[in-house]
Amino acid sequence: MARSVTNRRKTINTMLAWAVGLLIFFPILWTILTSFKTEGEAIADPPVFLFFNWTLENYSIVQERSDYMRYLTNSIFIAGGSTLLGIIIAVPAAWSMAFVPSKRTKDILMWMLSTKMLPAVGVLYPIYLLFIQLGLLDSRMGLVVVLMLINLPIIIWMLYTYFKEIPGEILEAARMDGATLREEIIYILTPMAIPGIASTILLNVILAWNEAFWTLNLTAAKAAPLTAFIASYSSPEGLFYAKLSAASTMAIAPILILGWFSQKQLVRGLTFGAVK
Site residues, other proteins (CB under 8 A) = 167, 169-170, 172-180, 183, 187-188, 191-192
Q: How far is the CB of 175 from other proteins (least distance, A)?
A: 5
**Residue 156 in contact with residue 92, Cβ under 8 Å?**
no
Q: Which is nearer to other proteins, 40 or 167 (CB)?
A: 167
What is the distance between the alpha carbons of residues 259 and 257, in angstroms, rounded to a whole number?
5
Residue type, 23: L
Whole-angstrom distance, CA of residue 161 vs CA of residue 191: 16
Shortest distance (Å) from residue 185 CB to other proteins: 13
Task: Indicate the residue among 67 and 177 with the shorter CB distance to other proteins.
Answer: 177
Q: Which is nearer to other proteins, 93 or 185 (CB)?
A: 185
Measured from the CB of residue 171, what is the shortest distance to other proteins in angstroms?
A: 9
Specify the residue, 16 or 186, whose C-beta has the smaller distance to other proteins. Answer: 186
| Of residues 31, 19, 84, the one with CA closest to residue 243 | 31
Shortest distance, position 164 Cβ to other proteins, whole Å: 16
Distance in angstroms (rounded) separating the CA atoms of residues 225 and 212: 9
DSSP 3: P
Tell me if residue 211 falls in helix, strand or coil: coil
Nearer to other proteins, 67 or 183 (CB): 183
User: Could you tell me the CA-to-CA distances from 199 to 1, 14, 19, 193 in Å, in that order?
Assistant: 35, 28, 28, 10
Smallest separation, CB 193 to other proteins (Å): 10
Cα dihedral 260, 77, 126, 129, rounded to 10, equals -150
The nearer residue to other proteins, 24 or 275, going by C-beta atoms, is 275
Q: At its nearest, how many Å lie between other proteins and the CB of residue 44?
A: 57
Q: Nearer to other proteins by C-beta: 113 or 170?
A: 170
Shortest CB 135 distance to other proteins, Å: 46
User: For 35, which DSSP code?
Assistant: T
CB atoms closer than 10 angstroms to residue 7: 7
Q: How far apart are CA 269 and CA 47, in angstroms?
A: 39
